[in-house]
Structures are given as C-alpha cells and as structure tokens.
Amino acid sequence: MDADEIEEEEFGFSRNYFLAKEVGSSRKKSARKLSEIDLVDEEELREVAANIEPKHEKEVNDLINSYKSLYSEWLFVLRCGFALLMYGFGSKKALIEDSATRSLTEYSVVVVNGYLQSINLKQVVITLAELLWDQLKLRKKTTSGNPSKSQQPFNPKSMDDLLAFLDKPDIGDECFVCIIAHNIDGPELRDSDSQQCLASIAACSHVHMVASIDHVNVPLLWDKKMVHTQFNWYWCHVPTFAPCKVEAMFFAFILAHGATAQSVKTASIVLQSLTPNAQNVFKVLAEHQLAHSDEEGMPINNLYTTCQERFLVSSQVTLNSHLTEFKDHELIKTKRNSDGQDCLCIPLTNEALQKLIAEII
C-alpha cells in the first residue's frame, strides 16, 4: 500500500467518523427517564435471581477442589503469624468455612459477617477473650487435674484490657483463637475506626485472622503500619466464581420496589439471631401495627407498658437496648405523630408483616 492509498484511507475514516457524529446529534433524544422504568417487586426479583442456573459447574468444582489441597499450607501460614486475606472474583464464604471446618477443628473460631448492616466489634473482642480464657482453664485442668476457678484476668468493659489479654506473652504459643471475617470491606466496616480495631485484633499474638475482600480499592483503607505490622497479610488469590447469595441477601436490589425496606427473608434471618425476648418485643410492635394500620405507629410509652405487662422487659433501659438493635438492622423506624409523640413502625406491608410473624413464632 503506497502513501496515497494510506492517506485516502485515513481521510475516509475521518469523514465517516464526523458524519456519524453529525447524524447522531441530529436525532431526537429519548424522553424516557429512569423514574419511568417499571420496577418489579423485590421478593419476585430475588426469587428469579435465586433460580438462575449456574454455568460451567464442572470447571468451577474442579477449581474449588484445587484450593482444598492448600488447606494445610494456609494453616501453616497462620501458625507462622500471618493473617490470610482471600481475594478474587466470587463469594469466598463457603471456601473459607470449609477450610476452617477441616483445618481448625482443634481451635476456637469466631465468625464475623462483614456484610451485615450492624456489627459490634467490641462484643467480638469479648468473645475472643472469653474463648481464650476457656482454653487456659482447660489446659490448667488437664495439667493439674483440678478445674480452675480463678476470676477472668481482664475487664470486659475495657477494650485495652481485652486486647492486652489476647496479646499476653506468658500464655504459650499453643493457645490461640481464630477469627474469620467475611467481607472485611463491608459497608459497616469501611470506616477508619473499625479497620483500626480489626488491625489491633489481628496484631494480638494469640489471635489468628482469616478474612475476605471483594472491593478493588480495599487497600486504600490501610496504612503501611496496618498492612505490614498489624494485619501482616498473606494474600491468597482464590477466585471461586460463586454467586454471593448470602451476602446479597442483606442488600436491596436497585431495580426493585421498596429498595429501602427490609425484605421478609432478611428480617426473618436477623430476628432469628436475636434473643427470644427481643423477638417477642418485635412481635408486640408488629401485632399493634397490624391491628392499627390506620395509625402512624406505636408510641414508645405504650410499647414499654405492654412489654412490661407481659414480663418481656424489666426497665426502659432494657427496651431501649432492644430498640437500638432493631434500628441498627433497619427493622423499625421512628416517626413523630400529630401529637408530638415518638412512634415506632416497621417498614413492611401488612401482608409481609403477617408472613414475618408466622416465621418467628
């Protein structure tokens, strides 16, 4: 091809480009808006999504089986003082839990689901400290033959005391507890305080951490000290191509009605994790809402009186703790009625609320 042909070809390409731009700009723009899209019901959309047939099952199963040969290596890395960080496309939840079930059977394991709407990291640290203390008592009983009745060597109200106990040098390397943090980059864990708390936990000599991430920009949450000194990550690339069914259960679909309201399935899962008293308090509120659907909600004072009569709460403080938990999980909302009273309501339709009550009874 000579120079004239090359020049003619480039000219033809440029002319076609500008002609396309001219034609495109002359067309009438669509008047459709995002608000005009006919959104489907969220429960229906979730049901359809759950029934999507998986593809390449054989190849995915072979891939997962290839990771199982690494379980002993991961345990060795943990015992060497590193924290495992699983990354790659797809949900790592089943893989990590299978690894823990097979490799960490001799140790105490605490699971933190970072995809939940609310997580109490202090309670996680208290649980870790109590499990480590149980290990120490069991070891003393084995060596001396007498059960240890000594008091806990830490103050559960002090985070510094708890972390100091988990990092105590004279306990022995054979005693440790494990923490599995699914989605350490979850929405409720992305703030600097939560990440620093997790880093402090991972830095304790008697705590071994296994975590998973999904967001590409997660390393921006950590400084150099957190990465190399506290977390001390050992990066594991383990793409599973598995759907995030459990994780997605706690996030509303964008193309669904009621994207800000809790679905029945999600609310049921959250309620089942609460105490029976908390479930009964929620049931009182739900029954009132169904019986008085024309009202703006149930006044907090009325809820307290009813719960006290049924011996569900002993004080206003107890009720407030239940309500805080409900609000953290977005199970209830607070409104102010025409009389100026603070009222509580559940952001579900009556039909959905009836299904939810039936599930938690």
Interval 71-83: pLDDT, tens: 999 999 999 999 9
Buried/exposed 80-106: b ≥16 CB within 10 Å, e otherwise: eebbbbbbeebbbbebbeebbeebbee
For residue 266, pLDDT beyond 80: no
Report the pLDDT value the prediction gives residue 42, as an integer from 0 to 100. 61
Bridge partners of 334?
Answer: 344
Strand segments (E) across 238-303: 298-299
- Mean per-residue pLDDT over the chain, rounded: 82
Q: How confident is the model at residue 14 (pLDDT cuts 50, 70, 90)?
A: low
For residue 40, pLDDT beyond 90: no
Q: How confident is the model at residue 34 (pLDDT cuts 50, 70, 90)?
A: very low
Decide which of 243 and 64 is more confident.
64
Report the pLDDT value the prediction gives residue 51, as an integer from 0 to 100. 77
Decide which of 42 and 101 is more confident.
101
- Mean pLDDT (whole number) for 81-110: 92
pLDDT tens by residue, 144-172: 656 556 677 888 889 999 999 999 887 77
C-beta of residue 212 within 8 angstroms of C-beta of residue 184: yes
Report the pLDDT value the prediction gives residue 259, as an integer from 0 to 100. 41
Nearest to 153 by CA among 174, 137, 141, 177: 137
Length of the chain in terms of residues written: 361
For residue 345, pLDDT beyond 80: yes
Give the burial class of 299: count Cβ atoms within 10 A of its Cβ; 0-12 exposed, 13-18 middle, 19 or more buried. middle
- The span from the CA of 87 to the CA of 93, in Å, is 11
User: What one-character-per-residue DSSP string does 70-122 give?
Assistant: THHHHHHHHHTT-EEEEESSS--HHHHHHHHHHH-TTSEEEEEETTSS---HH
State the DSSP code for 342: E
- Alpha carbon dihedral 260, 337, 325, 318, in 10-degree steps, equals -170
For residue 261, pLDDT beyond 50: no
How do 207-212 and 108-113 pair as beta strands? Answer: unpaired
Bridge partners of 343?
Answer: 299, 335
State the DSSP code for 54: P
Decide which of 133 and 37 is more confident.
133
Report the pLDDT value the prediction gives residue 30, as an integer from 0 to 100. 41
Q: φ, ψ for residue 91 (rounded to 5)?
A: -70, 130
How do 342-345 and 233-237 pair as beta strands? Answer: unpaired
Which range, 22-31, 123-132, 349-358, is most confident? Answer: 123-132
| Domains of the chain, residue spans | 64-136+158-249, 260-360
For residue 269, pLDDT beyond 90: no
- Mean pLDDT (whole number) for 305-334: 87
Nearest to 238 by CA among 210, 217, 219: 210
Report the pLDDT value the prediction gives residue 230, as an integer from 0 to 100. 94
Q: The dihedral of CA 226, 232, 237, 241: what is its sign?
A: negative
C-beta of residue 43 within 8 angstroms of C-beta of residue 257: no
Q: φ, ψ for residue 11 (rounded to 5)?
A: -65, -40
Report the pLDDT value the prediction gives residue 171, as an integer from 0 to 100. 77
Percentage, residues of the chain above pLDDT 90:
40
Report the pLDDT value the prediction gives residue 356, as an integer from 0 to 100. 83
Q: How confident is the model at residue 251 (pLDDT cuts 50, 70, 90)?
A: low
Architecture of domain 260-360 in this structure: Orthogonal Bundle (1.10)
Q: Extract the tokens encoding 39.
A: 């959104």
Instruction: Mean pLDDT check: name the lowest of 44-48, 91-95, 185-189, 291-295.
Output: 44-48
Architecture of domain 64-136+158-249 in this structure: 3-Layer(aba) Sandwich (3.40)
- Alpha carbon dihedral 111, 103, 97, 271, in 10-degree steps, equals -40
For residue 226, pLDDT beyond 90: yes
Report the pLDDT value the prediction gives residue 260, as an integer from 0 to 100. 37
∠ CA(287), CA(292), CA(296), 5° rounding? 110
For residue 128, pLDDT beyond 90: yes
The rounded radius of gyration (Å) of the Cα atoms in the chain is 27
- The span from the CA of 65 to the CA of 56, in Å, is 14
- Mean pLDDT (whole number) for 91-101: 93
